[in-house]
Amino acid sequence: MIETNNSSGNMKAVPSRQRLLVVTPTLGVSTYLEDTVRGVTSLQIPFVHVLSCPGPMVAKLQARFPHAIVVADAGKEAGLYGAINIALRAAGEDWQWFTYINDDDELGPGFSEVAQRHFAKENPEPVVYGNVRVIDESGGTISLLTLP
C-alpha cells in the first residue's frame, strides 16, 4: 500500500499496484505548460509523468521538470498520437492506468479523489471519466470538459 494525502489533508491507503501514467504531449513552448505540470504534480495518487516533445527540447524540459520522464516525440508527421505512443513506450510497465493532458489544459478539480475511488474498487471499470480545465489565453478557465 502507498499512503497519499487527499485534498482534505487526510492520509488514504491506495494499493501500490494502482499507478497512473500521465502523458503530456508538448512542443515545449506553451505558456500554460507550467499550469499543466503543476496540476499533474499536485496529484494525490501515485503517478508517472512523461512529457513527449521535439528532440531539441528534451534537455531543456528535463531540467525544468526533473520529476518527469522527458522523451523526444516521433516528429511532426506522427502528430499527437505519435507523441503519445512514444511516451507510452518510454514509461515502462510501472503503471496500470493512463491518461493524457494537453500542454494548455489542466486536470480538473477532484481528479485525485475520483482516481482514488476508482483504484479502490475490486473490479474497476476500464474507462473512467473526469474533468479537464480548458485554459484561455489569459490563464482563465474557458470551461470544464468531461473526458475519458
Strands (E), the chain: 2-5, 11-14, 20-25, 47-53, 69-72, 97-100, 105-107, 130-135, 141-147
pLDDT of residue 127: 64
Instruction: Tell me the one-letter amino acid at 49.
Output: H
**Around 56, how many Cα atoms within 13 Å sit in the side-chain half-sphere?**
2
pLDDT of residue 146: 64
The pLDDT averaged over each successive group of 10 residues in the chain (148 residues) is 44 58 95 94 93 97 97 90 92 89 86 85 71 73 66
Work out whether strand 105-107 and strand 130-135 pair parallel, antiparallel, or are unpaired.
antiparallel
Phi-psi region of 107 (alpha: psi -120 to 50; beta: other; left: phi over 0): beta
pLDDT of residue 129: 55
pLDDT of residue 137: 75
pLDDT of residue 90: 94
- Domains, the chain, in order of start with CATH, read 2-147 (3.90.550.10)
pLDDT of residue 91: 93
